Amino acid sequence: MGDEKKKKGGGYKLGSGLIWAGGQWGVNWFLTPDLHLWQIVSACFSAFFAGMTTSALLGRFAKWGANAWVMMILGVIVGVAVFSGAFTGLSAAWDWYNTKDIKVDWDRLQKTLLDWSVIPAAALGLLTGLYVKSKTPAKK
């Protein structure tokens, strides 16, 4: 009785990583068959870590009690940001904070966000948001 472990939830990072890797494999294998096997494996490896990063960030919002709609929206936003490489870590945030003149290449940003390659990341982000929400215990 006292030795029993309480279920804390979590464990969603590995599952999210596998979901992203499987989704990336499906996109590369079926939609871009001209890629070599090594390119597909490399993309799946990157997608695995993008999924783990996305779920780790979303896990905090789920623990704070975000509902399913908020998790889906955050999943799309965070998933696209992580997968596109826009989110590069805390060092980038520090560099942005110390920059005196921030310049945004709006044309490049628009081109990236309106490209077809964003759709898998957005769909996987949406699924990750729901997956993390379902795996996180409800706040009491």
Per residue in 75-112, pLDDT (tens digit) is 888 888 777 665 555 555 666 677 766 666 778 777 77
Question: Is pLDDT of 70 > 70?
Answer: yes
Q: What gap in Å lies between CA 73 and CA 81, rounded to an integer?
A: 12
Model confidence pTM above 0.75: no
Question: Is pLDDT of 4 > 50?
Answer: no
- Both tokens assigned to 53: 């990063």
Which carries the bigger pLDDT value, residue 4 or residue 84?
Answer: 84
Per residue in 25-68, pLDDT (tens digit) is 888 888 877 888 888 888 888 888 888 888 888 888 888 888 88
Which carries the bigger pLDDT value, residue 128 or residue 93?
Answer: 128
Residue 132 to residues 47, 101, 118, 124, Cα–Cα distance (Å): 17, 37, 21, 12
**Closest to 19 (Cα-Cα) out of 115, 114, 135:** 135
Question: What is the structure's pLDDT at 120?
Answer: 83
Question: What is the structure's pLDDT at 2?
Answer: 47
